[in-house]
């Protein structure tokens, strides 16, 4: 376990006193052992959400509850955690069952994200809240600094609606234009139409909601360019 402990210490800045906690955090349930990382993942998930929320509360003082929620979601979503875990090369430290090893489980996003959360849970149990906070701030510092304006994290339909409401204009209408493909793999085309300014655009997607979002984005980009 020493090599894994050394690597985790190097990338997180935290050295475990009880390395058995780290070993458990790095053990996937496929390894057929009772001491896998799912309970630690549960704890780490809650802990990460709290620590990110606390940090955002203090550094984004002008954002409201909805903005803060969107910002937090962008930071704690699985793909972000998997990217961080991959950057830390945690995959090579994992203990996996033979099936997961053969299928490349050490690169699987869900497994990497879960392992990172489990490590945070293990750090909390091993050292307490402040060491866990320090690790989270270290791992998320770059992403925290690069966060966009919260408004840009809203989906296009919401942003378009707010753009129109702010100007006292009627809300858009979404019309289903076409559905193609087999029932299990349908493709949707939707038109987003505005009354004022008179404007419309179509969008496509694998579901009606995705097509509506695509159409709304096309309209919004036109409005923001000032073209109508």
85 cis-preceded (ω within 30 degrees of 0) = no
Question: Does 126 participate in catalysis according to the annotation?
Answer: no
* End-to-end alpha carbon distance in the chain: 63
- The single residue of 100, 114, 117, 212 carrying the catalytic annotation is 117
Alpha helices in the chain (DSSP H): 2-12, 19-25, 38-59, 65-76, 78-87, 98-102, 109-127, 129-145, 156-166, 208-225
Report DSSP state, residue 226.
Answer: T
For residue 78, how many other CB atoms are within 10 A of its CB? 14
For residue 47, how many other CB atoms are within 10 A of its CB? 20
Question: Does 45 participate in catalysis according to the annotation?
Answer: yes
- The single residue of 45, 114, 126, 212 carrying the catalytic annotation is 45
Q: Which two tokens stand for residue 186?
A: 């349908």
- List active site positions: 45, 117
């Amino acid at each position: 376990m020493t090599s894994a402990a050394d690597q985790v210490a190097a990338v997180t800045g935290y050295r475990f006193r009880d390395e058995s906690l780290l070993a458990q955090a790095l053990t996937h349930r496929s390894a057929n052992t009772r001491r896998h990382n799912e309970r630690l993942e549960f704890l780490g998930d809650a802990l990460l959400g709290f620590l990110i929320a606390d940090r955002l509360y203090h550094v984004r003082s002008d954002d409201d509850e909805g903005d803060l929620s969107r910002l937090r979601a962008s930071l704690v979503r699985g793909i972000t955690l998997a990217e961080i875990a991959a950057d830390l090369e945690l995959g090579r430290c994992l203990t996996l069952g033979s099936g997961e090893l053969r299928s490349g489980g050490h690169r699987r996003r869900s497994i990497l994200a879960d392992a990172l959360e489990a490590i945070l849970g293990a750090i909390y149990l091993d050292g307490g809240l402040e060491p866990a906070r320090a690790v989270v701030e270290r791992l998320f510092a770059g992403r925290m600094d690069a966060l966009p304006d919260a408004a840009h994290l809203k989906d296009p339909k919401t942003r378009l609606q707010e753009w129109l409401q702010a100007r006292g204009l009627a809300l858009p209408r979404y019309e289903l234009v076409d559905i193609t493909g087999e029932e299990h793999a349908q493709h949707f085309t939707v038109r987003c139409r505005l009354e004022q300014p008179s404007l419309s655009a179509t969008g496509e997607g694998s579901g009606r909601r995705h097509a509506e979002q695509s159409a709304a984005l096309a309209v919004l980009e036109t409005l923001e360019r000032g073209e109508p």
